[in-house]
Copies of this chain bind each other. A is one copy, B any other.
């Protein structure tokens, strides 16, 4: 089958998935977890082949780490499936309810989006995670993973399909694209009549390729150039903690901070403290001229540094005149992901919150909480930086749409035109 034919099969399967009740969906997800455990040896063997091929191709260590599965990680994948099964079902949720003065009731009710395509890179766990969230929200899913993970992805997808077929469903409810050519991906991204949404997750190059070539709507999960602004009214002890937690606890995460902005009035006190604490934890610092007069042994920061998602123990520092200056900096260099202000002044905090339109804005809270699990969504399919449909961490809810359901007793808009009136 070609890409279009596969997608049509997925759409048909999605109609059946949309009608499954909560119990049936949860049973399915648990069966998928069981199947992954039962076929663990096969999955790990496939992953070992992927790893060997990737090593032979000279792939870097960070990539190999994302690609690698072991018994513990695979157990984590199965556990994640069971966890998604345990979450509330968004489908059928009534988000608003009222009675019209005309007599009928109006409800807003969540329904599935339809068919979602996930385009991603190294991590094989995304194959199961994304499938689980899409199915939980009643959707069909077309997965297009990276070529270096293809054997692992195939082995995982085989487990998912086995559970689908055992449940009497079409195996096409979860499609893993095996044709990884550029042409096939381009074709997939043009199927506006079949695919409802594309979610790309990966590096800047992948995101750009998808947004520049897709006709199907795309929700970008773009880079996180996150900021911590330390205001003159900050509690500096808290601010040091926010900097350490934000930069050092998982530098490869998109919710780690990349830029530290410090109010000029406290820079003389704060910068020596925070830079010492960060350096003790291995962070390499770059600074603007003003910050380098206070901490002279930082490298100079370039404009490009301020726009960079380091994903590593690196941090760009800048001294700013005030909160307006910090806001202007974030508007210029930020990626609309997550911004933090450290201040004890409520008015300044409110100004920061209102002026910025990033997906997540925080007062005196670590950027590392910008995560679906931490924000009460249960699990997340990613963090949207597209200001449409969903913005910030996206859970199963965000894979549905609210529509209107009216229930009446024969109400009409123009009663004077009724047959009985004629």
* Cβ contacts under 8 Å, A403 to chain B: 357-361, 391-392
> Which of the segments A283-291, A298-306, A364-372 contacts the partner chain?
A364-372
Structural contact, A240 and B406, CB atoms closer than 8 A: no
Min C-beta distance of A281 to chain B, whole Å: 8
* A292, CB-defined interface residue at 8 Å: no
* Cβ contacts under 8 Å, A365 to chain B: 104, 406-408, 410-411
Tell me the residues in window 316-375 of chain A with beta carbons closer than 8 Å to chain B beta carbons.
Answer: 331, 342, 349, 353-355, 357-366, 368-370, 374-375
Q: Closest residue to A355 on the B side, CB-wise? A: B19
* A389, CB-defined interface residue at 8 Å: yes
Structural contact, A404 and B360, CB atoms closer than 8 A: yes
Tell me the residues in window 382-422 of chain A with beta carbons closer than 8 Å to chain B beta carbons.
Answer: 386-389, 391-393, 401-414, 417-420, 422
Chain A 71-102 near chain B by CB (<8 Å), digits 1 or 0: 00000000000000000000000000010101
Min C-beta distance of A236 to chain B, whole Å: 10
Tell me the residues in window 157-177 of chain A with beta carbons closer than 8 Å to chain B beta carbons.
Answer: none
Interface residues of A (CB under 8 A from B): 15, 18-19, 98, 100, 102, 104, 106, 111-114, 192, 196-197, 211-212, 215, 217-218, 235, 237-238, 240-242, 244-245, 248-249, 277, 280-281, 331, 342, 349, 353-355, 357-366, 368-370, 374-376, 386-389, 391-393, 401-414, 417-420, 422
Q: Closest residue to A360 on the B side, CB-wise? A: B404
A366 to B355: give the CA distance in the assembly, Å.
44
Of B98, B366, B411, the contact of A376 (CB 8 Å cutoff) = B98
Q: Which of A212, A244, A411 has the most CB of B within 10 A?
A: A411
Please judge, given known A-B contacts A376-B98, A392-B403, A401-B388, whether A410 and B211 are in contact too, CB under 8 Å. Answer: no
Structural contact, A405 and B353, CB atoms closer than 8 A: yes
Structural contact, B368 and A404, CB atoms closer than 8 A: no
Number of copies: 2
A368 to B413: give the CA distance in the assembly, Å.
6
Can you list 19 A-B pairs, Cβ within 8 angstroms, ordered by A? A19-B354, A102-B369, A104-B362, A106-B375, A192-B211, A196-B388, A197-B388, A238-B410, A241-B412, A241-B420, A245-B417, A281-B417, A360-B404, A362-B407, A363-B406, A365-B407, A365-B410, A375-B404, A391-B403
A419 to B409: give the CA distance in the assembly, Å.
66
Structural contact, A370 and B404, CB atoms closer than 8 A: yes
Of B106, B349, B374, B389, the contact of A389 (CB 8 Å cutoff) = B389
User: Top 6 A-B pairs ranked by shortest CB distance?
Assistant: A238-B410, A365-B408, A245-B412, A368-B413, A389-B389, A362-B406
